[in-house]
């Protein structure tokens, strides 16, 4: 059974997490079946297609009456393997094991331990103390896993759940009734399997720690969002995040030319003709500079140059305005999202939907350079 999600419903203002799977339902007026979504929720509510709310006991009655079926009734049945030990596929799903699966899914949605998690805890307990009471607890935990899910419970496509089946079999008894006789050596081999798995997990964690040794620690900082805002009465007297935007009036010199804003510089350098460059640079506002630039003939190689040009303009702006550099450095280490209605190449949310946020990324790079320089000179 494949579960899909996430989904939810609202009950008394509270969000109740849910998931759904496909079942077959019998038509009320015709003796035929049709596929339907079965929804289950963290509080135990179960419904077909969003209607006819019931609970686990009610689902059991629907299954017993034939109103809900796990497979199409006229479908072909799978032939059982003659040997349970040699079988490489799950046990058939029954109404009883499906109900156990639904109960397990409700536990997962509610944040309670699932049967698989309780089984892993029982394995750890038995490995720490290989006594018969602990092996009995391991057997109970294994049998609590829905039968058709047991073969997958270890996530091992080669061994499947055989190490567990060996451990829950009493010494001297054949595993699964037709497999090898359980011996102390066979039990120890199964225990060695779990030791090897744990060692592999530990090695993977150590390797991951090496690969990600430079990753930030602690909770990530919230992003800084630089929203496009129009100040009809001019820029506020007190500096704020708005001064980090490209349309803020902060004249600077770049490659021997002075530009009122980054927007002026970007669109002036976009223009292929020198006369257009000068006209854009002299625009009264950043918005006018952008409109003039968009109407000018652009450099044929602009797509390959624009990222480097923008990086150079931003570096020049913050290098020549120490107060703005301090403001950028003070934004911390979180992401910078540059929001607006310009090209989605530069904005986090461009006029055509989600953008690539290159302006925000470049501001993060320059912030890092400023912080690194400050650390070196401190």
Question: By the 8 A CB rule, do 67 and 23 touch?
Answer: no
Distance separating the N- and C-terminal Cα atoms of the chain: 61
pLDDT digits (tens, 9 = 90+) for 257-294: 999 999 999 999 999 999 999 999 999 999 999 999 99
Q: Is the dihedral of CA 176, 182, 186, 188 positive or negative?
A: positive
Contact criterion met (CB below 8 Å) for 109 and 18: yes
Among 27-41, 101-115, 168-182, 185-199, which is the least confidently predicted range?
27-41
Gap between the Cα atoms of 230 and 286, Å rounded: 11
DSSP type of residue 148: G
Residue count of the chain:
378
CB proximity list for 348: less than 8 A, separation 6 or greater:
225, 337, 338, 339, 354, 355, 357, 360
- Position 169 scores a pLDDT of 97
- For residue 372, give Cα distances in angstroms to 6, 223, 237, 320, 368: 42, 20, 29, 17, 6
**pLDDT (tens digit per residue) in 170-216:** 999 999 999 999 999 999 999 999 999 999 999 999 999 999 898 88
The token pair at 115 is 């049967």
C-alpha separations of 178 from 85, 119, 174, 181, 182 in Å: 6, 24, 6, 9, 11
Angle of helix 286-295 versus helix 274-281 axis, rounded to 10: 160
B/e letters for 23-45, b = 16+ CB within 10 Å, e = fewer, are: bbbbeeeeeebeebebbbbbebb
| Residue 34 pLDDT | 86
DSSP labels, 25-73: EE-SSSS-EEEEEEEEETTS-EEETTEEEE-HHHHHHHHHHTSEESS-T
The pTM for the full model equals 0.66
| Structure token pair of residue 223 | 């992003």
pLDDT at position 55 over 80:
yes
**What count of other Cβ atoms lies within 10 Å of the Cβ of residue 151?**
20
Question: Do the Cβ atoms of 4 and 20 come closer than 8 Å?
Answer: yes
Q: Which residues contact 206 (CB under 8 A, 6 or more apart)?
A: none
For range 251-261, the mean pLDDT: 98
């Amino acid at each position: 059974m494949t579960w899909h999600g996430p989904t939810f419903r609202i009950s008394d203002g509270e969000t109740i997490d849910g998931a759904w799977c496909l079942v077959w339902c019998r038509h009320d007026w015709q003796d035929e079946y049709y596929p339907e979504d079965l929804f289950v929720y963290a509080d135990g509510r179960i419904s077909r297609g969003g209607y006819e709310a019931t609970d686990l006991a009610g689902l059991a009655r629907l299954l017993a009456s034939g109103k809900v079926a796990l497979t199409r009734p006229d479908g072909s049945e799978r032939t059982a393997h003659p040997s349970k030990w040699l079988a490489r596929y799950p046990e058939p799903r029954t109404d009883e094991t499906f109900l156990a699966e639904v109960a397990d899914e409700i536990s997962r949605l509610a944040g309670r331990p699932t049967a698989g998690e309780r089984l892993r805890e029982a394995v750890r307990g038995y490995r720490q103390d290989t006594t018969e009471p602990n092996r009995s607890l391991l057997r109970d935990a294994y049998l609590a896993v829905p039968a058709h899910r047991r073969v997958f419970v270890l996530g091992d496509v080669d061994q499947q759940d055989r190490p567990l089946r060996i451990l829950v079999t009493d010494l001297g008894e054949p595993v699964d009734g037709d497999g090898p006789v359980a011996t102390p050596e066979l039990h120890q081999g199964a225990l060695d399997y779990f030791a090897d798995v744990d060692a592999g997990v530990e090695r993977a964690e150590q390797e991951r720690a090496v690969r990600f040794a430079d990753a930030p620690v602690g909770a990530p900082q919230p992003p800084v969002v630089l929203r496009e805002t129009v100040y009809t009465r001019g820029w506020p007297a007190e500096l704020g995040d708005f001064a980090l935007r490209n349309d803020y009036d902060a004249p600077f010199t770049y490659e021997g030319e002075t530009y009122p804003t980054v927007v002026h510089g970007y669109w002036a350098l976009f223009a292929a003709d020198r006369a257009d460059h000068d006209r854009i640079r002299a625009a009264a506002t950043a918005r006018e500079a952008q409109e003039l630039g968009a109407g000018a003939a652009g450099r044929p190689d602009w797509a390959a140059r624009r990222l480097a040009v923008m990086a150079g303009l931003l570096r020049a702006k913050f290098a020549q305005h120490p107060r703005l550099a301090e403001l950028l450095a003070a934004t911390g280490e979180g992401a910078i999202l540059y929001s607006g209605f310009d090209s989605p190449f530069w904005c986090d949310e461009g006029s055509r939907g989600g953008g690539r946020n290159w302006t925000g990324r470049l501001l993060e790079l320059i912030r890092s350079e400023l912080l690194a320089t400050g650390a070196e000179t401190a």
